[in-house]
Amino acid sequence: MSTIGKRKSHESAEGHVTGNAIYTDDQRLPAGMLSLYPVLSPHARARITKLDVSAAVQVDGVVTVVAADDVPGENNTGVILQDEILFPTEEVSYWGQAIVWVVGETEDAARLGAEKVVVEYEPLQPILTIQDAIAAPSFHNEPQVIRRGDPEITLQQAVHQLEGELEINGQDHFYLETQVSWVIPDSEGNYQVYSSTQHPTETQIIIARVLGIPNNRVVVTCLRMGGGFGGKETQANPVASVAAIAAHKTGRPVRLKLKRDHDMILTGKRHGFWGQYTVGFTDEGKITALDVTLYADGGWSIDLSPPVLLRAMLHIDNAYYIPNLEVRGRIAKTHKVSNTAFRGFGGPQGMIVIEDILDRIARTLNLPPDRVRERNFYHGVGETNTTHYGQDIVDNRISRIWQAVKANATFDERREAIDQFNQMNAYKKRGLAITPVKFGISFNKTQYNQAGSLILIYTDGSIQLNHGGTEMGQGLHTKMLQVAAKSLGVTIDRFRLMPTSTDKVPNTSATAASSGADLNGQAVKDACETLKSRLAAVAAKWLKLDSPEELVFENDWIYCRTYPTAQVRFEDVVKQAYSDRVSLSATGYYRTPNIYWDAKTGKGRPFYYYAYAAAVSEVEVDGFTGTFKLRQVDIVHDVGESLNPLVDQGQIEGGFVQGMGWLTMEELVWDDKGRLRTHAPSTYKIPTISEIPEHFTVHLLERAAQDGVIYGSKAVGEPPFMLAFSVREAIRDAIAAFGQPAYVPSYVPLASPATPEATLMAIEQIRAAALTSTVMEGDRQLSPL
Amino acid sequence: MSDSCLTLTINGESVRLNDISPTMTLLDYLRRIGQIGTKEGCGDGDCGACTVAIVAKGSKGQPHYQAMNSCLIPLGSVAGQEIITVEGVANGQLHPVQAAMVKMGGSQCGYCTPGFIMSLFAAYYDRTVDDVSVEGNLCRCTGYLAIRRAAQLIAQAKPQDQFTERLAQATLELNSICYITSNQQFYRSTRLSEVLDLLQHHPNATLVAGATDLGLELSHHRKHISVMVSLEAVEELNLLTDTSEFVEIGAAVPLSHIEDKLRGVFPSLDEMLHWFAARQVRNRATIGGNLGTASPIGDLPPVLLSLEAQVRIASATGERSVMIADFFKGYRQTDLQPGEVIVSVKISKHLTQGAIRRLSQSYKVGKRGTDDISIVAAAFVIDLDEHNRIVHARLAYGGVAATPVRAIAVEQGLLGQPWTIATIQQTKRDLKDGFTPLTDLRGSADYRKMLVANLFEKFFVEMGGATIHPLEVG
Ligand SMILES: Cc1cc2nc3c(=O)[nH]c(=O)nc-3n(C[C@H](O)[C@H](O)[C@H](O)COP(=O)(O)OP(=O)(O)OC[C@H]3O[C@@H](n4cnc5c(N)ncnc54)[C@H](O)[C@@H]3O)c2cc1C
Ligand code: FES
Ligand code: FES
């Protein structure tokens, strides 16, 4: 029986709960394994005037120190542009940048050695904020523009017009397993690398580049990751590269697992953004025109910032039809970590701007925010159902989901109850909000939308399954097993899911952009189809049938559709195939059809389809402290015909909570010298179980099969992250209520993240405005109490 | 007399350790010997990935499994004890806790999972499986809902298996230890006099109780400690006395025991303990350690200041008592002299003369409600006479100065005032400028000032003071 669509537990769940699941750092260490420890820059920007490692190498147990001179290839790990120096020699570009790495027999020895490295600096003035970068000016790229209609004229003509800005913070990935790699060199010049990487192929390419050797000499293997979230897409590369250089220099295996503090100090994060907007709208709250500028804080090197910014620009509309729109984007170059991929990949930073605006429009017009959102949805056909970059939204499910979640959450009744509660309570206020998500699925860069697989059947009927995707907890391997078992008509126990390795499936894309199951699933199925047609021929001969097309593969049997009694066991056919000299291994391949993007015009069909979802959240905010409690969450999510509802539900819940962390408590604090002050879980707070409400429902949209995607399923990795906007909007709703009954604010500015401090400051602003308004606005005045 | 080795039992197997640093953390040791199921997520005691269970004495003296962070524990501290790691939980088949997690999809990447299993394992045998039992475990993947569903599956179980049998045979008394390597010494004594003796010979020895503060130094290798003296087993420091007159808490009593045993006695202590770190840390942390650390953001000092606790201190030359208000001398400085040990903290239950009732509560504000360090912590005591007049006021704060402090001028100003919103409003103004806190990564000076004032009003409101619309009073 096929497990497609079943709540099948994670394929490694038993390994997880027993501690038997092996992670990169857990592999038995070969004798002679060396460890690394970094020397970090104490300045955000400085010239290096002296580097002296002589005392370090005297330390007991220190083997050597690796530095720029030890790089046989290029001293650069940049992926889009080669602007990412691995070992800086002239200038340091962010606080905590690693200058050299000490190699020790033990980590202790390496650490003691690192304390003895002497580096002298001449500090320079760093650029630490987007605003500073604009003033400098200091950018990574030219301004990007996407445009539809005529925003200038329509803005002028708009009945209402508002201007505003929004600063959005970054976010640390805080995967539980920090970055880790180890490298085994051999005497023939080959390197076996084990790396916790979402992109083994790129890690391979970068290692080959820094070593100055062809790609085929480097094999990168990823067993499984203890979380990724985008943070191990490019950020695994420098870690693996340093280990590779050290392995090259010493000829010995070298291991590097970053300490939590080092991980948070050294690696890139979600981009902070700064958005400025002018919006025009009608009396009903319909947006007629929008002009937005988005600045992304790229950090010191460009990394993946261009596609991150592009996704932000392409998601500025979220689920809303905006007839006239210009969005400009630019990447600020600052002296901070190089910001990188993180679940949503810029999408959240674009979408939060429009959500912030819609709430403001609603309050300006004194209309319910949910109604204003609804009125602006993409709808109908043609123009009103087409994005600003010209993609037709085929299969628009926004309204359907919206209605479903409103009903599940009894939104209207609760709205009333909350208004009543707020009238009765002066010191705590409740807020309720509903927000939608529309998220484009596919890599923006068309060439990444391809995948491969390799299936090896052995003569006993056991099978190895390889595909190009990596497992970071998202359940990709589980889904691939389900797909392979269904496609081949065999039980799932026949398979061993192999570690992702560049010597099995070459030239893979990152496991990212929520696309892992879509792309690799099709590639796995393709390989299965190849094997099936070969085996069908063998089985047909065995069963003495004329046409192999008649054969059905199911539950480890191969039988004839029209004469089901004509049947043979899968493993017997496999043995026969071997005797008949029929190949029992096959590769599979897939590329996403019908997508294209014209970077010059900013138009195209970059996404194969859209994922949709909506959430209703209710909060209670304490007026003394600004703390909030999340009281209830209801979600409806479109995952197509779910391959595995248990896994998909886990993605939705986990994504939502991670988004909530970003928006409400995870605060990255840099001081005025550019030093990150929050680089451990003692200072950087991600949600715990106690922040999760008892009432939290997730419904998967029914009758939702998606055409042209593996078994009708849909991507689910990133979209739920943005459902957490409903929490932020609910907090704003509660803050607004602190002005009542005297004052109904037309705008609730709220800093991000909405920490207790930010929330209390916002409440104070409303309270202050309420006080003056009761004095000034005689006509709108309502008597207190 | 010295021991040439440390012994401990890991998953039923006894191991003898020679020539190993007594300050190596248990986590480092486990991973070094290939027990790699236990993970390091932070080395800070904050993520729980390293959680193991230890057979320990419960608050009622019964043997039980206790969750703790192996990244903070020096090997010396667990000498003679029995440890269960994630590898020791399944027995041919999955343990019910493991099976529940598998079934409900409680693991995604799985890196946090061993820690959750061990927290749940300990709670399972304590029959206290709930959110609180895993609030010291971070998971970045699941959003916790599936873990909560797994916990619910086992919450009602009444376990009877080889682990309950093992508990029945457990010996709980910690023995004395004197373990000496070429460059380190680790002592564990059971009598206060022995400790005081040791301190005479080793004036620079480092005292350790639960190691939840010291463990950070160890796990980050920031400190080489040559002589360590563990207070954990000292009898005199493990007493907890609750009479009609007073409560006396031994300096080495773990906070989780205080939580259990004194529940309902001092509301402000209950409340603060609830928000103090998370279960694994509370299982180890002590009141002596909290005072010994003398952090300006320690959470118990404000409570103790408001309750006017007395700190009992012993040294080889005798004993003395000092009022808690005189204990903190400056940033991270206390009144403790070399050779002195905190024995206990004594809190009177008496109302002030002339009072007919006492209002008291504590508050803690952090960026995250659970398991965070305070931005501001506050504890209040107000004694009222029959006319609802204030006859005694204590307003104590953490996070607003170099030491935990009381707002003494405000306290005096309150005497004789009626307990009304008007008084509170007046007081709020004074409180707001009563301290000059700093801006740091946790919060701005302005926010802290607002909290100092607002928390007092919150106290008033929550104690049943008349509610009033904030707009009316500004
Ligand atoms: C994850 C985490 C969360 C935390 N959360 C909080 C929190 O919410 N609130 C809070 O206040 N603290 C918190 N802490 C800090 C710590 O847990 C407390 O300070 C705890 O009370 C320390 O007790 P301990 O027994 O573990 O001290 P130890 O680490 O053993 O000792 C701490 C210091 O006190 C000294 N000392 C210990 N006992 C005595 C004694 N009897 N006489 C003299 N000196 C002594 C030691 O020499 C040492 O200098 C947290 C720590 C961690 C790791
Ligand atoms: S490793 Fe994070 S708590 Fe121990
Ligand atoms: S399952 Fe990945 S951190 Fe919990």
Atom of ligand 3 nearest to the CA of B110: 1
Q: Which of B28, B71, B84, B113 to mutate to test the interface with A (most CBs of A within 10 A)?
A: B113
Question: A706: which DSSP letter?
Answer: -
Q: Are A138 and A127 in contact (CB under 8 A)?
A: yes
Q: How far apart are CA A600 and CA A146, in angstroms?
A: 10
Q: How far apart are CA A366 and CA A408, in angstroms?
A: 26
Burial class (CB in 10 A: 0-12, 13-18, 19+), A572: middle
Taking the alpha carbons of B321, B324, B325, B331 in that order, is the dihedral positive or negative?
A: positive
Residue A687 pLDDT exceeds 80: yes
Ligand 3, pocket residues at CB < 6 Å? A 176, 227, 473; B 107-113, 139-142
Give me ligand 2 centre to Cα A230, in Å.
Answer: 23
A379: in domain: no
* Interchain CB contact of B430 with A (< 8 Å): no
A253-286 pLDDT, tens digit per residue, is 999 999 999 999 999 999 999 999 999 999 999 9
Report whether CATH 3.30.390.50 matches the domain B357-473.
yes
Residues of A in contact with B220 (CB under 8 A): 261
Nearest-Cα residue of chain B relative to residue A770? B471
Give me ligand 1 centre to Cα A261, in Å.
Answer: 21
Domain ranges (residues) in chain B: 6-168, 177-230, 235-348, 357-473
Final residue before a domain boundary, out of A568, A591, A614: A591
Residue A137: cis peptide before it, omega within 30 degrees of 0: yes
Which residues, 6 or more positions from B243, have their beta carbon under 8 angstroms from its beta carbon? none
Please identify among residues 310-369 of chain A the ones whose CB lies closer than 8 Å to any CB of chain B. none
Average pLDDT on A632-656 reads 97
Please identify among residues 171-190 of chain B the ones whose CB lies closer than 8 Å to any CB of chain A. none
Residue A768: CA count within 13 A, CB half-sphere: 7
- Give residue for tokens 């068309």: A446
What CATH number corresponds to the domain at position A584? 3.30.365.10
What positions of A carry a catalytic annotation?
Answer: 718
CB atoms within 10 A of CB B19: 8
Query: How many pairs of residues across A and B have Cβ atoms under 8 Å apart?
Result: 254
Binary contact (B47, A627; C-beta < 8 A)? no
Percentage of residues of chain A with pLDDT beyond 90: 95
The pLDDT value given to residue B473: 38
Q: How far apart are CA B20 and CA B18, in angstroms?
A: 5
A558-577 pLDDT, tens digit per residue, is 999 988 899 999 999 999 99
A528: in domain: yes
A742-754 pLDDT, tens digit per residue, is 899 999 999 999 9
- Ligand approaching nearest to the C-alpha of B71: 2
A76: in domain: yes
The pLDDT value given to residue A774: 64
Q: Output helix, strand, coil percentages for chain A, rounded to the nearest 5.
A: 35, 25, 40
Final residue before a domain boundary, out of A564, A591, A618: A591
Tokens of B465: 């003071």
- Ligand approaching nearest to the C-alpha of B47: 2
Binary contact (B472, A784; C-beta < 8 A)? yes
Q: Is the CB of B375 under 6 A from ligand 2?
A: no
The amino acid occupying position A378 is: Y
A102-123 pLDDT, tens digit per residue, is 999 999 999 999 999 999 999 9
Q: Are B177 and B2 in contact (CB under 8 A)?
A: no
CB atoms within 10 A of CB A143: 11
CB atoms within 10 A of CB B186: 27
Tokens of A96: 């905590």
- CA B1 to chain CA mean position, Å: 33
Question: A188: which DSSP letter?
Answer: T
Going by C-alpha positions, the residue among B357, B196, B107 that lies closest to residue A647 is: B107
Number of domains in chain A: 2
Final residue before a domain boundary, out of A591, A611, A642: A591
**Structure ipTM over 0.85, yes or no:** yes
The pLDDT value given to residue A776: 53
Radius of gyration of chain A (CA): 28
Instruction: Give the per-residue SS3 of A599-656.
Output: CCCCEEECCCEEEEEEEEEEEEEECCCCCEEEEEEEEEECCECCCCHHHHHHHHHHHH
Residue A782 pLDDT exceeds 90: no
Q: How far apart are CA B46 and CA A371, in angstroms?
A: 42
Please identify among residues 273-312 of chain A the ones whose CB lies closer than 8 Å to any CB of chain B. none
Residue A741: cis peptide before it, omega within 30 degrees of 0: yes
Strands A287-299, A324-333: pairing kind: parallel
Q: Is the CB of B228 under 6 A from ligand 2?
A: no
- Give residue for tokens 């912590």: B377
Average pLDDT on A426-432 reads 97
Task: For the full predicted model, state whether its pTM sits above 0.95.
Answer: yes
A671: in domain: no
Give me ligand 1 centre to Cα B210, in Å.
Answer: 7
Residue A484 pLDDT exceeds 50: yes
Q: Are A270 and A311 in contact (CB under 8 A)?
A: no
Q: DSSP labels for A23-68?
A: -GGGSPPPTT-EEEEEEE-SSSSEEEEEEE-HHHHHSTTEEEEE-G
Q: How far apart are CA B146 and CA A654, in angstroms?
A: 9
The amino acid occupying position B58 is: G
CB atoms within 10 A of CB B323: 13
Picking from B114, B132, B442, the nearest residue to A19 by CB comes out as B114
Tokens of A579: 């005797």
What CATH number corresponds to the domain at position A47? 3.90.1170.50
Q: Which band of pLDDT confidence, cut at 50, 70 and 90, is reported for residue A452?
A: very high
Q: How far apart are CA A51 and CA A119, in angstroms?
A: 5
Binary contact (A19, B34; C-beta < 8 A)? no
Residue A507: CA count within 13 A, CB half-sphere: 8
- Give residue for tokens 């065999």: A490
Tokens of A112: 């003691």
Q: Which band of pLDDT confidence, cut at 50, 70 and 90, is reported for residue A775?
A: low
CB atoms within 10 A of CB B91: 10
- Ligand approaching nearest to the C-alpha of B302: 1
A568: in domain: yes
First-to-final CA distance of chain A: 65
Beta partners for residue B394, in sequence order: B381
Q: How do the pLDDT tens digits run along chain B, 474 residues long?
A: 566 789 999 999 999 998 899 999 999 999 999 999 999 999 999 999 999 999 999 999 999 999 999 999 999 999 999 999 999 999 899 999 999 999 999 999 999 999 999 999 999 999 999 999 999 999 999 999 999 999 999 999 999 999 999 999 998 889 999 999 999 999 999 999 999 999 999 999 999 999 999 999 998 877 899 999 999 999 999 999 999 999 999 999 999 999 999 999 999 999 999 999 999 999 999 999 999 999 999 999 999 999 999 999 999 999 999 999 999 999 999 999 999 999 999 999 999 999 999 999 999 999 998 899 999 999 999 999 999 999 999 999 999 999 999 999 999 999 999 999 999 999 999 999 999 999 999 999 999 999 999 999 999 999 987 544 444 433
Q: How far apart are CA A574 and CA A584, in angstroms?
A: 8
CB atoms within 10 A of CB A152: 13
| CA dist list (Å): A582 to A531, A532, A545 | 10, 12, 18
Q: Is the CB of B30 under 6 A from ligand 2?
A: no
Closest CA of chain B from A543, distance in Å: 41
Atom of ligand 3 nearest to the CA of A16: 1
Binary contact (A16, B455; C-beta < 8 A)? no
Which residues, 6 or more positions from A707, have their beta carbon under 8 angstroms from its beta carbon? A395
A135-186 pLDDT, tens digit per residue, is 999 999 999 999 999 999 999 999 999 999 999 999 999 999 999 999 999 9
Structural fold of domain B177-230: 3.30.43
Q: Do domains B6-168 and B177-230 have the same CATH topology?
A: no
Residue A785 pLDDT exceeds 90: no
Q: Which band of pLDDT confidence, cut at 50, 70 and 90, is reported for residue A519?
A: very high
What are the phi and psi torsion angles at B17 (to 5°)? Answer: -110, 125
Give me ligand 3 centre to Cα B141, in Å.
Answer: 4
Question: A382: which DSSP letter?
Answer: G
Residues of A in contact with B121 (CB under 8 A): none
Q: DSSP labels for A98-151?
A: EEEEEEESSHHHHHHHHHH-EEEEEE-PPP-SHHHHHHTT-BSS--EEEEES-H
* Exposure class string for B98-113: b at 16+ Cβ within 10 A, else e: bbbbbbbbbbbbbbbb
> Into which CATH architecture does domain B6-168 fall?
Roll (3.10)
Domain that holds residue A226: 13-125+173-266
Report whether CATH 3.30.465.10 matches the domain B235-348.
yes
Residues of B in contact with A738 (CB under 8 A): 470
The pLDDT value given to residue A740: 84
